[in-house]
Structure formats: C-alpha cells, structure tokens
Structure 1
C-alpha cells in the first residue's frame, strides 16, 4: 500500500527537524563522535520509516527505536533524534493493547538513560535530567491515552450510527411488510365480500329469470351496485398507493356504528341478517371501527359462501374498554368457514386484524350446531382518531 500524502509530508517534516536539530546540537554540544554520513543515514532511516506508520505501526516503532539507539551508541550526541520515535509511538500506542505499549517508555527510559552510557563509557545523566525525561515520558503516555480515548469515542459513534441505520432499515422493512399485509387484507375483504354477494345474486337471478323476471331484475340491480362499489373502493386503494397515505379515500370506510348499512349488501343477497346492539353506542377509534366492520363483512361473506342457511345474527356489544362483535349462523357449512374458496384467508385475515390491535378472535362450530365468529377489539386511541 503506497504511503498517504499526509504521512509523506509528516516524514519529511520530521526528517528536516531531526537533521537540523542534530546539527545544532553537535555545534553547541560536545559529542563523542562528530556527525558524519552514517549519522544522517540513521536520521533518514528513522524519519523515512514514518511513511508506513499506519500500515505497520509496530515495525515502524521498532525501526525508529533501533535507529535512535544506533545513533546514540555511535556517540553522536542527543539532539532531536527521538522525534521519529515519539511520532511512531503516538501512532502505535492508541491502536494496540495498553500493556505492551505502555511498558515501552519505562524500558526505554532505563535503556537510553543508563544502558547507553554504560555501553559507551559516557557519564550518566544528572538527577534533574532523569526527572525531566521521566516527566516527559509520562506526558507522552498521557497524550497517547487521550488519542486512544478519542479514537474509541469516534469508533463508538460510528458503531452507534451503523446500529441506528440498521434499526431504521429494519423498521422500514417491518412497516413496508405491515403495509403490504394491510393492503392485502383490504383487497381481500373488499373483493371477497363484493364478489361473494355478486355470486349469490347472480345465482338468484338465473333461477328467477324465467319464472319471476321482476325479482331477477332486482338481483341484477344489486349485482350492478355491488360491482360498482367494489370498483370504487379498489380505485380508492390504488389512488392511495400512487399518491401516498395522505390521500383521502374516495368513499368513506365502513363503520360498525352504522350496522344496518354495513349488512345491507348481505340482505340484498337474500340473507336474513338480524342485528342487535348493546352497551353505550359511541364513535370508535378509526382502526378499531374499521377492523370490527371488516370482520362483520367477512363473516357474512362466509355465510354466503359456505353455509346452507340464509339467515345470520350480528351482535355488537360496546364495553368500557373494548367492542365485541359476534356473528352466528345455523350452518352446517359446506367447507371450512372463512377458509375461502380454494383455501383463501378469510378467518386468518380477521384474526390478523384483531390481533394487530391487541384483540382476539375465535371462530368455529357452536356446540348446538351452526358457526360462530366472536371478536374482541380493545378501544385504544393509539395511532387513530375517532371515526
């Protein structure tokens, strides 16, 4: 990997300062050995190694230490020969474990202040110089720790940002999945209810076309109205999908508070629907109102599809914290009620609607015969206003 431009600039700057400082120290000091070509080669090696300090920090630190040690062992004097070592240490220490890195300054302290004079026969440094170097090394370790903490804070912020992005993406996918399920349920409820009533009315019309044409005409008129309403509702859904959720519906959604209007189409199809309402009738939260209305519609659709009976009873009970919807017919059923033709999703869709609002739905044969759908939907204002 080629060196970064910033690392190249830093290496050149350190090399210039090291060379100029060493020349100045040699002129004003009393080195055991005057500067020669080997001295400048060692200074250049220590500075040039900084080109790869980010790629191989440990190796670069070892090279700069070796160059500085060789420089002192040859007796060239002190000077700024340790500047490449400082830069290499501040690069490596924040990236590597604390224990081996922070052990290097004490080891180097003993090696350079007493080991080198012992090996070269030079005088040992005075106590004041030893204390000053120790304080300088402590400052160096503190700076390395500050850099480490800053790097860890930046890494933690980036990790949190990635986690927030991941959670946001999961939430977006979850909402998209829920929206697809909502659309599928709405389409199923609208089309299944309308088409089932059209199917019943068309059968009535065919049977009465010759013997009682006037009643066949009524059935055909109901077919026309049901198909028109279904087209309008599907068109409203498609417009909402194209323009966004803020687009107002073209037709008002069905409401459990208008029970006679809700069961009118089933009555037009020839099903005798008896309705009872108990409790304190009042406007419901939009989501609960729509779910209760769709459950009634789907239950009556199942009566038209699967039951041998032409009568059903719809009961709505308003509780203080919930609304209960019960639909009964006296069956027996031709096929599993709510399973839909060919294994559809009638009961599954009703159950999903109830559970999505924290409610419950039970559907199955009654002990005395017939079939019952019983749903309980909590009246929560979360995310919905009153209808």
Structure 2
C-alpha cells in the first residue's frame, strides 16, 4: 500500500512538472528570442505537449520514455518546429527523464543513454542551423539572444551532463545506504548469535561442570556411602532440571520477536546468586558470598553480573576445586563491580593462566559491552582472581 501510494504521488508530481515544462516550451516557440518557426502558431502547443509527455510517464518505463523524449526533441528540431535560440528548452524533458534513468540504472548503462542523447541533440542542432535557420523569416525585432549554435549545444550538453550526474549521485547514495543497512543488519544478527552462544556457554558450562563433579563423587562412593551418592544424584537432578528450564528460555527467544526480557521465565539476577553459591558448595567449593549496595540493577546489567559470577565459579569448580572462594558484588547506582577470588587447588598444581576456552572471553565481552574493564589471572600468593567493572546509566545502557 505504501509503495502504491508512493507511485501515485510520484506520478502526480511528474504530471505537474510535465505541464509546466510544456507551457515553457510552448511559450518559447510562440515568442522565441530568435527567428520564429515557419510552422503555424497554434502548432507550438501540440509540439510542446509531445516533447513533454515522457516526463509524466517516466517512472513506468524510464528507458522507453528517454527514447521518446530524445526522439521527439530531435524530430521537432530537425523539422523546424522549434525556434532559434530556444532549442535547448525542447530538450529539458530529455534531461529530466535522463536524471531518473541515471538514478535507477547502473552508471555504465545510463552513461550510454547520456552519450546517445547528447549525440542526437548535437546532430539536430547542427542540422537546424545549417538547413532550417537560413529559410526562416527574420525576427520582427532585434533578438535579445542572437542565434548561435555553439551556445545551444553547450547549454544542452551542460543540462544533460548535470541531469545524469545528479541522478548517478542519487543512485550511489541509495546503494551506499542499502549496503550500510545490510551491513548493520548482518552485524545485529552476528551480535545476537554471539549473545545466545554466550548465554548457552554460561548455562551449559556451569551446569555440566557441576554435574561432572557430582557424578564423579557418586561413582566413587556408591558402594561404601550410598547416602552420599544419592545426595550427589539429587544435586545432578536439580541442576539438570534448572539448566533445561534456562535453555528452554534462551531457545524461546529465538522463536520470539519481542524483547528478551519479555520471556515468561524470569531472567537471572542478583537474587539468584545465593542459589548459584549453594550449587558451588555442593561441588566442594567453600563459597563466601557478599552482595553490597542497595541499588536495584537494571535487568540486563544484573544478568551480566550473574553470568560473570556463574562462569567464574564454573572455572573454580573445574580447575581448582575443592577449595575456598570469595565472591564480592558491589551494586551501585552508576556501576557494578564483581570480584571472584579462589585460594587455588589444595593439591599442588602449576598456576593456571585461564580456562583455554570461551569462559574468560565471554566474561570480558560482557564487561566490554558496557564500556567497562575486566581482569583475570593467577595471584602471587596462589589461586586465581577475576574482576569486572560494569558502568551503566540509570536505564541500563552503557555509561
């Protein structure tokens, strides 16, 4: 409907322009600056209407109307239906149609149209001045613009070149805008894929790490301590169920056109950190959790904080457990600070420089998304430290 409205509006504008140009061309033939045409005076208006008609229909068949406009102007000039000194007015419709052709066609093709129009106009003007002008009756009064074919040809060439150039620039700008829009759309899709991959990595990585630890415990103590094995299996059951629910929430976002925060399952936040710490404790990590600050973080910031803590605890479970770990979260009105520090494995192992996967990369991306900072590395006294600073404005956007 919008496209049809645009076409209708453009057609009305073109029709109005065609009428104005026809009046201008007719007046130029009736009252020319040079010798008048030998045709009857009333013929000026049909000739003007004929050469101006292609403007009104140029949007439907640009190339066809370009040929009609150029041919009509050339025939009118050669036949002497125009007036000396105002031949260029007859080619104004050709200029306007040429602009549309250049703005909707590749530059190489439209350049061929420009060359054909210029060649036809130059030939018509030369024929007019060589064969038609000498037989015209002299002007009744002194001409304000003496007939001079180089001027006529120069004006026509300048107008046609300008019309083509403006159309080519318009097409270039449209193509550039289209490419930019396509690039932005691809970037948005890539960002969304990375966000979903990061979410899935955090959820699955943490849960599978915890499940692997508890499954190992259950396998070793199943015969001698069945109660402890059943407790480990209960943790595995609870973790797998919560993980499945969160995976369904993330995958549900792929089927939804709405905002991620509109999902039915609540987005994890600071209130879920104690449960996260309990899961780590069940895997043998002595977690000391402290959340300071009374500020209510925006949901997106709270989710990033939760995921950073989740991934950091997953790394502790995988690389250092069992051990002691402290988690500090400071929630401010303008920023959030996360620090996760562990004492390292109780058995003697070389210091770890990272998890070698996407865990640290994902945490760094979450911090950088808000223009914040991220640091992770082994401590001189042993263990590993992860810290992140996420600045934001009151509505949750990067500061």
Q: 1:335 to 1:220 in 2, by over 3 A?
A: farther
CA contact (8 A) 1:285 1:379 kept: no
Unaligned ranges ≥5, structure 2: 1-62, 83-111
Count of aligned pairs between the two proteins: 303
TM-score relative to the length of structure 2? 0.65
How far does residue 135 in structure 1 lie from its aligned partner after superposition?
10
TM-score relative to the length of structure 1? 0.67
Matched, 1:199 2:212: yes
SS in 2 for 1:291: helix
What is residue 179 of structure 1 aligned with on the other side?
192
Q: 1:232 to 1:258 in 2, by over 3 A?
A: closer
What is residue 270 of structure 1 aligned with on the other side?
284
User: Is the deviation greater in 297-306 or in 205-214?
Assistant: 205-214
After superposition, give the CA deviation of every residue in 1:327-356 in whole Å (9 maximum; x if it has no partner).
Answer: 1111146684652xxx42111111111111
User: Is the deviation greater in 199-208 or in 130-139?
Assistant: 130-139
Q: Which residue, 260, 263, 280 being the options, matches 1:249?
A: 263
SS in 2 for 1:252: coil
Matched, 1:378 2:397: no
SS in 2 for 1:56: helix
Query: Residues 1-387 of structure 1: matches in 2 within 5 Å?
Result: 4=64, 7-8=67-68, 11=71, 15=75, 19=79, 54-71=114-131, 77-78=135-136, 129-133=142-146, 151-246=164-259, 248-278=262-292, 280-332=293-345, 336=352, 338-339=354-355, 343-381=356-394
CA contact (8 A) 1:202 1:220 kept: yes
CA contact (8 A) 1:288 1:378 kept: no
How far does residue 274 in structure 1 lie from its aligned partner after superposition?
0.7
Query: What is the distance in 1 between the residues matched to 2:396 and 2:157?
Result: 52
How far does residue 155 in structure 1 lie from its aligned partner after superposition?
3.8
CA contact (8 A) 2:367 2:373 kept: yes
Note the aligned Cα RMSD (angstroms). Answer: 3.6
SS in 1 for 2:389: strand
Query: What is the distance in 2 between the residues matched to 1:163 and 1:365?
Result: 48
Unaligned ranges ≥5, structure 1: 23-51, 80-124
CA contact (8 A) 2:370 2:391 kept: yes
CA contact (8 A) 2:217 2:229 kept: yes
How far does residue 277 in structure 1 lie from its aligned partner after superposition?
2.8
How far does residue 65 in structure 1 lie from its aligned partner after superposition?
4.2
Q: 1:149 to 1:16 in 2, by over 3 A?
A: closer
CA contact (8 A) 1:331 1:370 kept: yes
Q: Say which one has the larger Rg.
A: 1
How far does residue 238 in structure 1 lie from its aligned partner after superposition?
1.6
SS in 2 for 1:277: strand
Q: 1:6 to 1:362 in 2, by over 3 A?
A: closer
After superposition, give the CA deviation of every residue in 1:283-305 in whole Å (9 maximum; x if it has no partner).
Answer: 10122111111111111111110
After superposition, give the CA deviation of every residue in 1:268-325 in whole Å (9 maximum; x if it has no partner).
Answer: 22211111233x2221012211111111111111111011543211111234521111
Query: What is the distance in 1 between the residues matched to 2:393 and 2:73?
Result: 69
CA contact (8 A) 2:364 2:374 kept: yes
Query: What is the distance in 2 between the residues matched to 1:67 and 1:194?
Result: 88
Q: 1:63 to 1:153 in 2, by over 3 A?
A: closer
After superposition, give the CA deviation of every residue in 1:346-382 in whole Å (9 maximum; x if it has no partner).
Answer: 1111111111111111110112111111111113345
Q: 1:10 to 1:350 in 2, by over 3 A?
A: closer
User: Is the deviation greater in 266-275 or in 311-320?
Assistant: 311-320
How far does residue 158 in structure 1 lie from its aligned partner after superposition?
3.1
User: Is the deviation greater in 244-253 or in 182-191?
Assistant: 244-253
CA contact (8 A) 2:351 2:378 kept: no
Q: 1:20 to 1:286 in 2, by over 3 A?
A: same
How far does residue 263 in structure 1 lie from its aligned partner after superposition?
1.5
